[in-house]
């Protein structure tokens, strides 16, 4: 009985620690909005439910794991559903002009930190940003509300076998691809890199990181 009580307390402490990590992950990020405790629980359940399945699909057996696309590669012309309704192909997005494709997962702390800064980039109106979510519509909509994301979001979830994520060779999020009008990828960014975010801001005519923003130089996805 004593051992079981100790184990229960340890489990409760670990649960609380994880919830605090999610709640505090975007400290220093602009536009962070309060999130309900119920939604925190949903984020945590989503990670437990889908985490292993996603890793199985993306981290394939040795020798078969898709290689991350590099600069110079062509954009896979995958058609995805838009969160707002309808669908669009990534080839169509590239053809419209330079754009940033940002793959993410709602329970990823680095994604939660990064996306408010991508919103600043999008708001400048020069470089379009498209989020590509590995979660379902409901959870993605909640993420956008929590972190102030208004740019277009596409869905690349388990129901579609993460087709776009596998086509791009995604193994961690956030991963971002700058695509050009000729259909090629010109830049690939994995995780959070302050210098890369500032470079994107210069390309998109936006001051993405402002005075007073408390952000690290680098953070792996």
> What's the pLDDT score for residue 30?
72
> What's the pLDDT score for residue 84?
97
> What's the pLDDT score for residue 58?
44
> What's the pLDDT score for residue 34?
47
> What's the pLDDT score for residue 62?
40
> What's the pLDDT score for residue 55?
47
Long-range contacts made by residues 186-192, C-beta under 8 angstroms, separation at least 24?
186/71, 186/98, 187/71, 188/68, 188/69, 188/70, 188/71, 190/68, 190/220, 190/221, 191/110, 191/218, 191/219, 191/220, 191/221, 192/110, 192/113, 192/114, 192/216, 192/218, 192/219, 192/220, 192/221
Collapse the DSSP code of 105 into the 3-class scheme (helix H, G, I; strand E, B; otherwise coil) and give the result: coil
**54: part of which helix (H) or strand (E)?**
helix 37-58
For the chain (221 residues), the mean pLDDT of every run of 10, in chain order, is 47 53 54 57 55 43 71 97 97 96 98 98 98 98 98 95 96 97 97 98 97 96 86
The dihedral built from the CA positions of residue 55, 88, 106 and 212, taken in this order, carries a sign that is positive
> What's the pLDDT score for residue 66?
81
> What's the pLDDT score for residue 157?
93
Task: Tell me if 66 sits within 8 A of 169, measured CB to CB.
Answer: yes
> What's the pLDDT score for residue 77?
95
Domain ranges of the chain: 37-210
User: In this structure, which topology does domain 37-210 adopt according to CATH?
Assistant: Glutaredoxin (3.40.30)
> What's the pLDDT score for residue 47?
55
Angle, CA of 101, 199 and 111, to the nearest 5° = 45
């Amino acid at each position: 009985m004593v051992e079981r009580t100790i184990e229960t307390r340890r489990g409760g402490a670990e649960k609380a620690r994880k919830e605090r990590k999610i709640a505090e992950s975007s400290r220093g990020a602009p536009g962070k909005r309060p999130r309900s405790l119920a939604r925190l629980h949903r984020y945590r359940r989503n990670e437990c439910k889908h985490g292993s399945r996603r890793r199985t699909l993306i981290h394939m057996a040795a020798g078969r794991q898709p290689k991350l696309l590099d600069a110079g590669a062509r954009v896979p012309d995958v058609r995805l559903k838009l969160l707002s309704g309808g669908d669009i192909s990534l080839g169509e997005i590239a053809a419209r002009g330079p754009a940033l494709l940002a793959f993410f997962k709602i329970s990823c702390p680095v994604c939660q930190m990064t996306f408010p800064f991508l919103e600043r980039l999008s708001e400048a109106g020069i470089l379009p940003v498209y989020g590509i979510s590995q979660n379902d519509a409901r959870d993605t909509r909640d993420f956008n509300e929590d972190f102030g994301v208004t740019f277009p979001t596409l869905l690349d979830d388990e129901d579609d076998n993460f087709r776009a994520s596998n086509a791009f060779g995604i193994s961690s999020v956030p991963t971002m691809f700058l695509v050009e009008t000729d259909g090629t990828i010109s830049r690939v960014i994995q995780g959070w890199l302050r210098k890369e975010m500032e470079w994107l801001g210069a390309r998109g005519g936006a001051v993405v990181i402002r005075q007073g923003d408390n952000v690290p130089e680098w953070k792996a996805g």
